[in-house]
């Protein structure tokens, strides 16, 4: 995300609205599975929908539908304009965050 902001601030050609997401969307189930793997947390207790509906607006200040249904967004404009992501797979990005692999910067 910081690289997207930095690029937007330093590239004169970037203007307007961009979708700041990873280039390969995943489901919440896949994300949580990969997050547990990378953090070495073997189990994760699911939250019931009523819990998410109650907590999301009050605790996270967000729409419960984002957690319950998700959004599969693709940053097509960034990709079309040549932005290079450091990681194309979620597992690689999480491994880097948890210091499990060396940083692989795209050139």
**Residue 106: closest CA among 94, 80, 91, 88:** 88
pLDDT at 45 over 80: yes
| pLDDT attached to residue 93 | 92
Backbone angles phi, psi at 77, to 5 degrees: -70, -40
Instruction: Please give the mean pLDDT across all residues of the chain.
Output: 87
Query: What residues does each domain of the chain span?
Result: 1-25+73-107
What percent of the chain has pLDDT above 90?
A: 46
Q: Tell me what the mean pLDDT of segment 81-104 comes to.
A: 84
């Amino acid at each position: 995300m910081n690289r997207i902001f930095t690029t937007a601030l330093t590239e004169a050609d970037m203007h307007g609205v961009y979708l700041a997401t990873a280039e390969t969307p995943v489901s919440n189930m896949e994300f949580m599975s990969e997050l547990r793997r990378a953090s070495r947390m073997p189990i994760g207790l699911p939250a019931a929908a009523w819990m998410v509906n109650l907590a999301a607006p009050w605790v996270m200040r967000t729409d419960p539908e984002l957690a319950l249904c998700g959004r599969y967004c693709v940053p097509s404009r960034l990709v079309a304009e040549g932005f290079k992501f450091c990681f194309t797979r979620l597992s690689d990005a999480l491994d880097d965050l948890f210091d499990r692999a060396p940083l692989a910067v795209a050139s």
